[in-house]
Structure 1
Amino acid sequence: MPTYHYRCKNCNYDFTEQQSFSDAPITVCPQCGEEQVHKVYSAVPIEFKGSGFYRTDKSK
């Protein structure tokens, strides 16, 4: 199951939740109870391993 990062706009509480793709997003803050929660999106790290990814690599 994917893990999603949430932040409350009211109290700035950060938390993560494991949810299924079919689950509705969380809208109520577990700390203050306000409906001010939104998902926090961040860049996904990409790691290139092995040969063939760089211009200087020789083709086989």
Structure 2
Amino acid sequence: MPTYHYRCKNCGYDFTEHQSFDDDPITVCPECGEAQVRKVFSAVPVTFKGSGFYRTDGASGGSTK
């Protein structure tokens, strides 16, 4: 199940929730009770390991187009 990060625009309360893809997003703040909660989106870290990411890498003997 994915973890989503939320923040209340009213009181600034920050929290995370484990939710299914089918669950509706949380809109009411559990701290102040206002309907001012929004999802916080951030960059996902990506790590590339190994070879094969450049045209000169990869299988030898093959043609490069």
TM-score normalised by L of structure 1? 0.89
Give the structure 2 partner of residue 29 of structure 1. Answer: 29
User: How many aligned residue pairs are there?
Assistant: 59
Say whether 1:50 aligns with 2:44: no
Give the structure 2 partner of residue 18 of structure 1. Answer: 18
Equivalent position SS for 2:5? strand
Task: Spell out structure 1 runs of 4+ moving beyond 4 A.
Answer: none
Unaligned stretches of 5+ in structure 1? none
Q: Quick one: percent identity of the two aligned structures?
A: 76
TM-score normalised by L of structure 2? 0.82
Unaligned stretches of 5+ in structure 2? 61-65
Higher radius of gyration, 1 or 2: 2
Equivalent position SS for 1:12? coil
CA distance in 1, matches of 2:37, 2:13: 9
